[in-house]
Amino acid sequence: MNLSAQRLILASASPRRKELLASLGVKFEIIPAEVIEHEAPDADPREMVRHNAALKADWVAAQHPQSTVIGADTTVFVGNTVLNKPRDAAEARSMLRLLSGTRHTVFTGLAIRRQADGLSLDRGVASEVTFKSLDEATIELYLSRVHTLDKAGGYAIQEASELIIAGFTGSLSNIVGLPLEEMKQLLTQAGLTR
């Protein structure tokens, strides 16, 4: 199999993942997986994102067995609660109130699949984010500036972060939705980069 000519597919419609993966200089296509993700608020977040990433990668790989497929899933975990994408503005407000003044973890699961040679790689990445204490006016200002309904935890660290973020540790690209260092390592393991 000629790995340099391999077709690479990102099994996600996320514009942030598309932008991050493109920054690695690899050519890829986007084919979103048509799956129902596991998103229980009481799930183990590490297992949930790994499961969902594998679910997406496996679904697209089954349709394109000669291609290398990337699946990814990200969630926010605070206390004992998983915060996925808010359903509406009221839930986004509630999430920002819950995150206010706290430190939380952002988990991303990565999965690479290639059915032609049985390639199956999985990785989990965690970063920590500390929120400022937010008053209602700041929450409303943030929501007026940032579209939060497609973002785990109801926020985006890359948009208007000066309003809400006190600091973070770990991979910034993980918090955005695709940990680049780990992604590069997996693509190298898959024989797609050097």
Residue ranges in the chain assigned as alpha helix (H): 15-22, 45-63, 89-99, 136-145, 161-164, 172-176, 180-189
Nearest to 123 by CA among 68, 59, 63, 73: 73
**Strand 29-30 to 8-10 pairing:** parallel
| Per annotation, catalytic residue among 73, 88, 117, 122 | 73
111, β-bridge pairs: 71, 122
Helix (H) or strand (E) holding 129: strand 119-131
End-to-end Cα distance, the chain: 17
The yes-or-no answer on residue 73 being catalytic is yes
* C-alpha dist (Å) from residue 53 to 21, 83, 127, 145, 162: 15, 17, 17, 29, 30
Catalytic sites, residue numbers: 73
